Structure 1
Amino acid sequence: MSHRNAPLSETGRLRLARCVVEDGWPLRRAAERFQVSVTTTSRWATRYREQGEAGMADRSSRPHRSPNQTPTRIERRIIKVRVLRRWGPARIGYLLGIHPSTVHRVLTRYGVAKLRWLDRPTGRVIRRIETSQCGDLVHVDVKKLGKIPAGGGWRMLGRTIGQRNSQADKGSGLRSKYRHPLHGHHFLHTAIDAHSRLAYSELLPDERKETAAGFWLRANAWFAECGIPVRNVLTDNGSCYRSHAFREALGDVEHRRTRPYRPQTNGKVERFHRTLADEWAYARLYTSDAERCAQFPIWLHTYNHHRGHTALGGQPPASRVPNLSGQYS
């Protein structure tokens, strides 16, 4: 195959072959003239005698026979298991008694889509939502997060002591208003820009319609301060997002909803909540709920301005927002 250091192009091969075949040059003289080996000169001269100008084109380096290639019957079984069960090379290899690297080569040779590209329930290739500029689409969602009892939860103390600690002040048969104030959940409301992945998030006491509407008003104002005019909002079909209060809070912003039972459509904010859980909520052992809550704004600033994002080529979300830091104003 031709490459940047190849001494002969197709035209050069033709000139070389004609010097030998038509002009009668000795092989060694032609090799010295075109700065190639005698073997190369002989090969192109032979091809020219047999095929003419058509023989000067590159040929595939693929062998005519591959006696050690995986049999077609085994390849079909690999593809069948992949399509029906959506397993990776390791599990398919264990099932069929084949090395995982062989399974991987077969899947690659047939151009089978990678598992991370597929929707697991249906097996269809995921069509990712891509926006061209900031504000074209903002994903909004709520994550429920359990509070940490005073002294630490089961992750720090173990399940037996942690559960005993969380039940210490509940009391048997008491109404909820007499329970320990730290029992319950936080509701993490998040709005994330689809283009830049810049996120605004708050820890709120519930997910009612008034709370969701108030959150969006503050989130929209924050995005405006960052120079991002929001044009579209994507949410699930939760009751708080179908309310008149949330609709009024949106104003002129277009409201889109995901299909029922399809959280993948809102995948960017779902992935943000997973990252948040791994890197903040459960990244260390907290002794109290207040300690964890105090770390949340610090982590969120790090995520927006310093943490590299794989979808952005290792750059933080703030790098995609024009003049976010105001250095060009």
Structure 2
Amino acid sequence: MQLTTVGKPLLKAANQASQLEQAGAGDPVVAERLRKLKLVETLRKKKVPWDEVQKLVGISKATYHRWKKRLEEQDLAGLKPKSRKPRKLRRKVHWKPDVLIRIERLRKQNPTWGRWRIGQRLHREGYTLSERTVGRILSYLERSGRVEPVSAFLARNRKARLRRKSQRPYARRKPAEYTALRPGDLVQVDTLWVDLGDGTGLRQFTAVDTVSRWGTAGVYSRASAKTALDFLQQLVRRCPCVIRAIQVDGGSEFMAEFEEGCRVLGIELFVLPPRSPKLNGMVERLQRTFRDEFYTRALPLGIEAIQGELEGYLEHYNLHRPHMALGGLAPVEYLAKLQEVSVPLESQMY
């Protein structure tokens, strides 16, 4: 390092300070502190600013005065590093075995309980332990591996729940190479919550064939696997083509009885990835049409009466309503065109 401010006097001071190392030869830390004290004194005689002294020597002004005072009062012993051991140490407490066993048993029975709940339980049983003591015992039990930390228990069970949720006996992701070419190759199914405005609401199951745009729907008081199975049976009966695959989201109503129903009927069941409603875009669009065209009209009271009105709208939707995606044809007209047969005058599906 080139010393522009101090120059040669600093080198001379370093040589003088090295002689002091012999005084503290028994302790290299004492010798080093003596050398730094001498360097600071020499630099200050040359009127070197304290900020530069601190950079050159490596000690602050407060440290210099503290060392100097201890050297004057205690001689070389004052420059020895002081022990950093706390003046007061926590006494090692040996807990009674019955207390350890009781707290361990309570935590194993209630894996998410912390020191407060366990402490409250112990107080009811006659123990006189503070909440902090219970916390120290729990920490000891966790370190020794006798109980599992609450965070580890929650993380492990969260992963287990995700694994259980993802395991479905029949449903699977739609293969990338699967393409719907014929009517019935893929039917999208979804649920719609409808607020009737009088404090009540209903659940509508909606289905649409992705090729012909033929659609159907059913209203229920709730969306469950049993009501979904009932809608599946209605869908199979009404659909003018053979259904080969159905695509749904991950809702619980499309599990259990609904999934088993698809398996029994020999219908492929595809489940969408999480947070991807756009992959069921056709049925989502159909449900918007129901909101705009059907649920904006005055409806009767009761599920059965609303279902009756819905049947009339579905007949209009499938037989008469033009679809832009079908070149202005209605779904039944488009199906008839594909089959190269005439369009029936009356629907046999409702």
The TM-score, its normalising length taken from structure 2, stands at 0.43
Tell me which of the two structures has the higher relative contact order, counting C-alpha pairs closer than 8 angstroms and 6 or more residues apart.
1
Structure with bigger helix share is: 2
| Greater C-alpha Rg | 2
